[in-house]
């Protein structure tokens, strides 16, 4: 074939090829089949949904208690690794960073038919730094996020935990889940041949929004004081449980809420359910003599007795309604003031009898017993306060000494705080404010009043009477704080024996407690410490008094509470009560 | 003879002027096409730059959160105590006896001063 012929042939061939391409192009663009369209679209279409991070949980000073952090799932492509013959190197590298043996990793990777295996979930970026540097082929580090609690077990029962799906499972995480959850972002776009997104083809771009931040009323330092005191107490008395609460008496804010046994929310899966129980709000117990404070306060308020009235305490043994009532230390004649100081059961019973069933019931109800306080935590119990028609003849005498009634520590503290707060019972709360991702405050909790069980004058008298409990001769001397007048009441109650075990009370199992507040004249904080079945000692004063003292001593110094008054800069709620004459003097000075 | 032929060929050449309008249209089309291609390329470049920045922002945010978490962990009271113990630093809050409170004017504000080794700090030293 000559030159001309070859040229024509080449031209014809090229023209045919181009014509073919042109026809295919026209066919694809002008009249593609539905299957082709779907295939093309699915190959190019990109649709991503990203979950916004959960909001943070912070203490009252902005210390982070819970936060979503970046993490990775360590995954691999076994097929690729086996084909490239790198399995040994990969196994050795991975074995150094995950809690799996080399043989376990080998078994996972020795699956030539699989292209994806997950070796370890939720690994921290820092742990993987070394692995990243090695740039191992076939090893995939999938991006994810995980909930982390940087303070570990601190405040675990208040904070709670959130599960792998980002849903709160306990505590604040559960109660405020709707605020904490972020919104899901959405991206719709097209991919190029290398499976990279073509930004200019992005048609939907909704940014995921992180959830709102929750600021608690808890102070991490006060929480630490409470937990540390409980740890020391547990080490000494090996109880079945111990719990403590610190409250701002003026506003009702909870500054610390500790419960033992505790757990680390970072490893909530390995904690027994019983450890996760927030005993301060969900564990009802018979409070014992702490209840005398409320009974006597009501009797004083109703004018049934005065602090100087004297009762015969029968030298510690009294028969009433066919049943014996005993005092741990036999006393003869005691004034109302001394009945509190010496914690006489017989004296308290006689005072309650003066009030009568109905008045006693109403007064206990007005102190909040038998009803939930409404704290912003899930799982709160309301306790048990039987109505008068369910009472026996001796019920009133048992109620006066804190039996035949079931309360939570929070209820008891709330009632005692009412005495400290001039007779005003404040709603206890844990959430100070909720701030959304844009920095706007969604809501702020304002202190709320739950009732006024006693008059301010009665509260003042009661504060002075309760202050005698920690003074020499009282049952709570071990709770006294050096430099600060402390008011409080000890409580020791035998534990109720379940019906399955025959009912009644255990002979040698007790609930020991101490609830108090300070400074006496202008109370700032109230604290309750409860211990379930302490070993070696069982009196509230000797078991819980020292723990109370440790918490109170450290808290007043940390919060800069003076022995005379309130730390003005600390109170976010009501603030200190300033007497009228001082207010006017201040106004004049300004 | 040659002159005649030249004249004939000149006569045979018919000069059809290229229409200016068409030329302008073609130039416009070409310019638009080029602009479109340039804009497309520019969009893609900007897009990939935005994507890069998006990814950087994401990484920085994650790093910031992780650092916040680490810092928060370091500030945990238990860790703080451990660090103090490790460095053999015995630090305690001052007791009530070691504090002097000074009232400023007639207001209720109080100043809290730490105890100094020589004795209680005097208000005049303020």
Assess A63–B contact: CB distance below 8 Å, yes or no. Answer: yes
Please name the helix (run of DSSP H) or strand (run of DSSP E) that holds residue A450, with its range, or none.
strand A449-451
Q: Would you say A466 and A419 are in contact if contact means Cβ atoms under 8 Å apart? A: yes
Average pLDDT over residues A185-192: 90
Q: For A260-271, write each residue's pLDDT tens digit.
A: 999 999 999 899
- Residues of chain A contacting B48 with CB distance shorter than 8 Å: 199
Q: Residue A40's pLDDT is what?
A: 80
Whether the pLDDT of residue A45 is over 70: the answer is yes
Give the one of A53, A154, A589 whose C-beta lies nearest to B105's C-beta.
A589
Tens of pLDDT, residues A426-441: 999 999 999 999 999 9
d(CA A580, CA A266): 50
CA–CA separation, B113 and B115 (whole Å): 6
Supply the mean pLDDT for chain A.
89
- In angstroms, what separates the C-alpha of A149 from chain B's closest C-alpha? 8
Torsion of CA A400, A401, A404, A406, to 10 degrees: 100
pLDDT of A300 over the 80 cut: yes
Q: Where are the alpha helices (DSSP H) in A96-169?
A: 102-109, 125-134, 156-159
* DSSP letter string, A177-237: HHHHSPBEEEEEEEE-TTS-EEGGG--EEE--BPPPEEEES--HHHHHHHHHHHHHHHHHH
- B46 contacts A150? CB cut-off 8 A: no
Instruction: Output the pLDDT for position A520.
Output: 92
For the segment A58-67, the average pLDDT, to the nearest whole number, is: 94
Q: Which of A64-73, A98-107, A274-283, A287-296 has the lowest mean pLDDT?
A: A98-107
Angle between helices A291-301 and A456-467 (to 10 degrees): 140
A185 touches chain B (CB under 8 A): no
User: Do A151 and B76 lie within an 8 Å CB cutoff?
Assistant: yes
What the block records as the tokens of B61 is: 């945010």
Q: Is A142 helix (H, G, I), strand (E, B) or coil?
A: strand
Using an 8 Å Cβ cutoff, are A34 and A110 in contact? no
Q: Could you tell me the pTM of the whole model?
A: 0.83
Q: How large is the average pLDDT for residues A316-331?
A: 89
Whose structure tokens read 């959830």? Answer: A211
Residues in chain B with CB shorter than 8 Å from the CB of A483 are 95-97
Q: Do A568 and B109 touch (CB under 8 A)?
A: yes
Band (B109; pLDDT cuts 50, 70, 90): very low
pLDDT at A67 over 70: yes
**Separation of alpha carbons B73 and A65, rounded Å:** 9
**Which of B108, B109, B112 is the best mutation test for A, with the most CBs of A within 10 A?**
B108
Instruction: For residues A314-331, give the mean pLDDT.
Output: 89
Residue A163 pLDDT exceeds 80: yes
For the ranges A61-75, A452-466, B5-19, B37-51, the lowest mean pLDDT is seen at B5-19
Q: How confident is the model at residue A565 (pLDDT cuts 50, 70, 90)?
A: low
Q: Which residues of B touch A182 (CB under 8 A)?
A: none
The 3-class secondary structure across A349-406, one letter per residue, is: HHHHHHHCHHHHHHHHHHCCCCCCCCCCCCCCCCCECCCHHHCCCCHHHHHHCCCCCE
Query: Tokens at residue A172, please?
Result: 């604040």
pLDDT at residue B12 greater than cutoff 80: no
Mutation target for B interface from A72, A150, A211: give the one with most B CBs within 10 A: A150
Quickly state the pLDDT bin for B115 (edges 50, 70, 90). Answer: very low
Q: Is residue A39 helix, strand or coil?
A: helix
Q: What is the DSSP string of A286-343?
A: --GGGHHHHHHHHHHHTTS--TT-EEE-GGGEEEETTEEEE-SS--SEEEHHHHHHHT
Q: How high is the pLDDT of residue A84?
A: 80
Q: What is the mean pLDDT of chain B?
A: 76
**Cβ-based contacts of B101 with chain A (< 8 Å):** 562
Confidence band (pLDDT; 50, 70, 90) for A123? confident
* B5 has a chain A CB within 8 A of its CB: no
Distance (Å, rounded) from C-alpha A565 to C-alpha A518?
Answer: 9
For the CA atoms of A213, A217, A219, A225, the dihedral, rounded to the nearest 10 degrees, stands at -130
What average pLDDT does this structure show over A41-64?
91
Burial class (CB in 10 A: 0-12, 13-18, 19+), B79: middle
Q: Which of A56, A199, A231 to mutate to test the interface with B (most CBs of B within 10 A)?
A: A199
Confidence of residue A103 (pLDDT cuts 50, 70, 90): confident
Please write the tens of the pLDDT for every residue from A469-523.
999 989 999 999 988 999 999 999 999 998 888 888 898 999 999 999 999 989 9
What is the ipTM metric for this complex?
0.78
Which tokens belong to A525? 């904080």
Band (pLDDT 50/70/90 cuts) for residue B3 is: low
- Inter-residue contact A161 to A173 (CB < 8 Å): yes
Q: Establish if B95 touches chain A: CB-CB under 8 angstroms.
A: yes
For residue B50, the distance in angstroms to the closest alpha carbon of chain A comes to 8
> pLDDT band at residue A532, thresholds of 50, 70 and 90?
very high
Q: Looking at residue A318, what is its pLDDT?
A: 93
Mutation site for A-interface testing, chosen from B63, B73, B77 by largest number of A Cβ within 10 Å: B77
Give the minimum alpha-carbon distance from A25 to chain B in angstroms, rounded to a whole number: 20
Chain B residue closest to A221 (CA)?
A: B77
How high is the pLDDT of residue B126? 36
Cβ contacts (< 8 Å) between B106 and chain A: which residues?
Answer: 585-586, 588-589
Average pLDDT over residues B32-53: 91
Q: Are A297 and A336 in contact (CB under 8 A)?
A: no
Q: Any chain B CB within 8 A of the CB of A483?
A: yes
Across the interface, do B70 and A150 touch by the CB < 8 Å criterion? yes
What are the chain B neighbours of A484 within 8 Å (beta carbons)? 96
Residues 6+ apart with CB under 8 A from A7: none
Across the interface, whether the CB atoms of B62 and A198 are under 8 A apart is answered no
> Measured between beta carbons, which residues in chain B are less than 8 angstroms from residue A213?
none
pLDDT above 90 (res A89): no
| Residue among B65, B108, B109 whose CB faces A69 most closely | B65
Please tell me which of the candidates B43, B65, B72 has its beta carbon nearest to residue A63.
B72
Mean pLDDT of A80-102: 82
pLDDT recorded at residue B18: 79
Which chain B residues touch A199 with a CB distance below 8 Å?
Answer: 43-44, 46-48, 50-51
Which B residues 48-87 touch A at CB under 8 Å? 48, 50-51, 62-63, 65-66, 68-70, 72-73, 75-78
The structure tokens listed for A486 are: 């402390």
Decide: A575 and A583 in contact? Cβ < 8 Å: no
Interface test with A, best of B54, B66, B92, B99 (most A CBs within 10 A): B66
- The tens digit of pLDDT for each residue in A50-59 reads 888 999 999 9
Q: Give the pLDDT band (50/70/90) at residue A571.
A: very low
What residue of B is the nearest CA neighbor of A485? B96
Note whether B96 contacts A560, CB cutoff 8 Å: no
Examine the pLDDT at A588 and tell me if it is beyond 80: no
Using pLDDT thresholds of 50, 70 and 90, give the confidence band for residue A259.
very high
What average pLDDT does the segment A229-244 reach? 96
Instruction: Please name the residues in contact with A366: beta carbons below 8 A apart, sequence gap of 6 or more.
Output: A298, A451, A453
Eight-state DSSP code of residue A254:
E
Chain B interface includes A374 (CB < 8 A): no
Biggest CA pair distance of chain B: 136
Residue B96 burial (CB < 10 Å; 0-12/13-18/19+)? middle
Residue A574 Cα distances to A120, A178, A209, B26, B89, angstroms: 50, 28, 34, 80, 38
Contact across the interface for B108 and A576, Cβ inside 8 Å: yes
- Residue pair B112/B101 in contact by the 8 Å Cβ criterion: yes
Would you say residue A140 has pLDDT above 70?
yes
A334 pLDDT band (50/70/90 cuts)?
Answer: very high
Which pLDDT band, with edges at 50, 70 and 90, does A81 fall under?
confident
Confidence band of A339 (pLDDT split at 50, 70, 90): very high
| Structure token digits, residue A334 | 């005691």
Specify the range with the lowest mean pLDDT, choosing from A97-111, A222-236, B26-40, B76-90: A97-111
Contact B96 A484 (CB under 8 A): yes
Cβ contact A150–B62 (<8 Å): no
Judged by CB atoms closer than 8 Å, whether chains meet at A198 and B47 is answered as: yes
pLDDT (average), residues A369-398: 94
**Do the beta carbons of residue A60 and residue A572 sit within 8 Å?**
yes
DSSP label at residue A481: B
Residue B91, chain A, CB below 8 Å: the answer is: no
pLDDT (mean) for A113-134: 84
| Cα(A49)–Cα(A336) distance, integer angstroms | 69
Q: What is the pLDDT of residue A27?
A: 80
Strand, coil or helix: A59: coil
How many C-alpha atoms does A257 have within 13 Å on its Cβ side?
33
Helix intervals (H) in A110-183: 125-134, 156-159, 171-175, 177-180
* Residue A574 pLDDT level (bands cut at 50, 70, 90): very low
Which of A537 and B106 is assigned the larger pLDDT? A537
CA–CA distances in Å: residue A191 to residues A25, A196, A375, A467: 20, 5, 51, 75
Token pair belonging to A218: 């808890």
Report the percent of chain A where pLDDT is more than 70: 95
């Amino acid at each position: 074939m000559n030159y001309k012929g070859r040229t024509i042939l080449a031209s014809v061939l090229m023209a045919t090829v181009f014509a073919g391409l042109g026809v295919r192009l026209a066919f694809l663009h002008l009249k593609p089949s539905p299957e082709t369209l779907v295939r093309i679209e699915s190959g190019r279409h990109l649709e991503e949904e990203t979950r916004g991070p959960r909001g943070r949980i912070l203490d009252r000073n902005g210390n982070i208690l819970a936060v979503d952090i970046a993490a990775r799932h360590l995954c691999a492509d076994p097929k690729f690794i086996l084909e490239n013959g790198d399995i040994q190197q990969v196994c050795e590298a991975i074995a150094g960073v995950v809690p799996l043996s080399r043989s376990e990793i080998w078994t996972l990777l020795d699956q030539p038919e699989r292209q994806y295996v997950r070796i370890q979930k939720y690994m921290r970026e820092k742990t993987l730094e070394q692995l990243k540097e090695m740039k191992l082929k076939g090893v995939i580090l999938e991006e994810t996020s995980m909930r982390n609690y940087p303070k570990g077990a601190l405040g675990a029962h208040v904070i709670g935990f959130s599960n792998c799906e980002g849903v709160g499972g306990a505590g604040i995480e559960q109660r405020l889940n709707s605020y904490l959850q972020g919104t899901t972002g959405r991206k719709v776009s097209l991919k190029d041949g290398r499976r990279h997104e073509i930004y200019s083809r992005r048609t939907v771009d909704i940014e995921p929004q992180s959830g709102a931040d929750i600021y608690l009323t808890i102070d991490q330092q006060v929480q630490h004081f409470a937990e540390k005191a409980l740890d020391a107490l547990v080490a000494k008395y090996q109880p079945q449980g111990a719990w403590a609460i610190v409250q701002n008496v003026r506003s009702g804010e909870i500054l610390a809420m500790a419960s033992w046994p505790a757990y680390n929310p970072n490893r909530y899966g390995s904690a027994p359910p019983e450890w996760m129980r927030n005993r301060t709000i969900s564990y009802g117990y018979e409070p014992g003599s702490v209840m005398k404070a409320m009974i006597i306060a009501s009797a004083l308020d109703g004018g049934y007795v005065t602090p100087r009235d004297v009762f015969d305490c029968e030298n510690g043994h009294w028969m009433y309604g066919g049943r014996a009532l005993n005092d741990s230390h036999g006393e003869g004649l005691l004034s109302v003031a001394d009945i509190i100081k010496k914690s006489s059961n017989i004296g308290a019973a006689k005072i309650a009898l003066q009030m009568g069933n109905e008045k006693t019931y109403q007064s206990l109800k007005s102190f909040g017993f038998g009803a939930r306080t409404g704290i912003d935590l899930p799982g709160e119990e309301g306790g048990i306060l039987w109505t008068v028609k369910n009472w026996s003849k001796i019920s009133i005498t048992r109620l006066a000494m804190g039996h035949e009634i079931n309360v939570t520590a929070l209820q008891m503290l709330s009632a005692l705080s009412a005495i400290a707060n001039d007779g005003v019972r404040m709603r206890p709360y844990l959430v100070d404010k909720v701030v959304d991702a844009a920095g706007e405050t969604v809501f702020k909790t304002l202190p709320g009043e739950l009732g006024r069980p006693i008059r301010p004058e009665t509260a003042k008298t009661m504060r002075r009477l309760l202050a005698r409990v920690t003074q020499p001769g009282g049952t709570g001397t071990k709770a006294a704080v050096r430099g600060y007048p402390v008011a409080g009441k000890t409580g020791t109650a035998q534990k109720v024996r379940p019906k399955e075990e025959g009912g009644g009370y255990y002979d040698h199992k007790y609930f020991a407690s101490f609830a108090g507040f300070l400074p006496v004249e202008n109370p700032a904080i109230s604290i309750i410490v409860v211990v379930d079945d302490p070993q070696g000692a069982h009196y509230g004063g000797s078991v819980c008094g020292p723990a109370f003292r440790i918490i109170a001593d450290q808290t007043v110094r940390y919060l800069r509470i003076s022995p005379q008054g309130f730390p003005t800069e600390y109170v976010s709620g009501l603030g200190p009560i300033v007497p009228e004459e001082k207010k006017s003097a201040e106004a004049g000075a300004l | 003879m040659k002159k005649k032929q030249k004249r004939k060929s000149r006569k045979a050449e018919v000069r059809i002027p290229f229409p200016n309008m068409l030329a302008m249209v073609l130039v416009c089309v070409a310019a638009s096409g080029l602009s479109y291609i340039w804009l497309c390329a520019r969009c893609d470049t900007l897009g990939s730059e935005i994507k890069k920045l998006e990814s950087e922002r994401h990484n920085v945010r994650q790093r910031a959160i992780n650092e916040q978490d680490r810092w928060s962990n370091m500030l945990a009271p238990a860790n703080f105590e451990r660090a103090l113990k490790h460095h053999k630093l015995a630090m305690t809050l001052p007791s009530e006896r070691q504090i002097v409170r000074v009232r400023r004017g007639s207001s209720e504000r109080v100043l809290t001063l730490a105890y100094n080794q020589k004795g209680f700090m005097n208000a005049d030293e303020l």
